[in-house]
Amino acid sequence: MNIFIMGAPGSGKGTFSAQIKEEFNLNHISTGDIFRANIAGGTELGLAAKAYSEKGLLVPDEITNKMVKEYLNNLEDKKNGYLLDGYPRTLDQAKAFEEMTKGTDLEVDKIVLMDVSFDELTRRITGRRTCKKCGEIYNIYSKPTKVEGICDNCGSPLTQRKDDNEESLKVRLNEYANNTEPVIAYYEPKGIVSKIDASKSMEEIWPVLKETLKK
């Protein structure tokens, strides 16, 4: 089973990707992983992407698409398929990937859309706190620490990302609406999009998500 998991910033893609990966034995891959692997490996595509990034420019879709396809093709352990997070970000990427993978075992089977209201996204993003030492993530509203500002695991101070504020969230959501929502609209007539109400608690979301994928 090959899956794209999509949704706005703070919709829970990362959290549920980990659970989907374990439950269905999939390769969980983000575009960040693919870029880093290509750049670290000094591949032709990696060097091309790095040249754009160093100039502060967006990497062209053509390079991104080729990197994604090559990375998936060269996975040593194919497992039961892939779970791709952060791709496709644009309609052009979606169409190009579809063309490149049509009739192959890399063709996408399911799009999971994590659907969350703006108010809930704001609560999640502005309330998020991270421990730099052990990487544990908390939320002052939904997952507070026992001692305010201190990690339960290792006792280190928690930090808040500079862009975890309402103003930055609006910018990111606007970008998502302009670029990624058309991707969802493109796939919906194909009957492979499953919309998940991700505004509920993790305990409520997971059984629904798991059952949706089993179908």
State yes or no: is 129 an active-site residue: no
Q: Assign 201 a pLDDT band (cuts: 50, 70, 90).
A: confident
State yes or no: is 128 an active-site residue: yes
Catalytic residue of the set 89, 123, 124, 129? 89
Q: What is the pLDDT of residue 205?
A: 94
Q: What is the pLDDT of residues 34-58, one digit of tens each?
A: 988 899 999 999 999 999 988 888 8
Tell me phi and psi for residue 46, to 5 degrees.
-65, -45
The domain that holds 11 is classified in CATH as 3.40.50.300
Q: Is residue 134 part of a domain?
A: no
Which of 8-12, 21-25, 173-177 is the most confident on average?
Answer: 21-25
How many distinct structural domains can be found in the chain? 1
Q: Is residue 184 part of a domain?
A: yes
State yes or no: is 102 an active-site residue: no
Catalytic residue of the set 21, 110, 128, 129? 128
State yes or no: is 55 an active-site residue: no
Side-chain-facing half-sphere of 54: CA atoms under 13 Å: 7
Do 30 and 85 contact (CB within 8 A), yes or no? Answer: yes
This prediction has a pTM of: 0.83
- Percent of the chain at pLDDT > 70 equals 100
For 11-35, letters b (16+ CB in 10 Å) and e give: bbbeebbeebbeebebbbbbbeebb
Helix (H, G, I), strand (E, B) or coil at 99: helix
d(CA 77, CA 62): 26
Mean pLDDT of 166-193: 92
Do 88 and 97 contact (CB within 8 A), yes or no? Answer: yes
Q: Is residue 88 part of a domain?
A: yes
How many residues make up the chain in this entry? Answer: 215
Please identify which residue in the block is written with the tokens 């034995």: 25
Catalytic residue of the set 172, 195, 200, 210? 172
Which domain covers residue 112, as residue numbers?
A: 3-127+164-214
Q: Is residue 149 part of a domain?
A: no
Residue 131 has pLDDT above 90, yes or no: yes
Helix (H, G, I), strand (E, B) or coil at 158: strand
Q: Is residue 144 part of a domain?
A: no
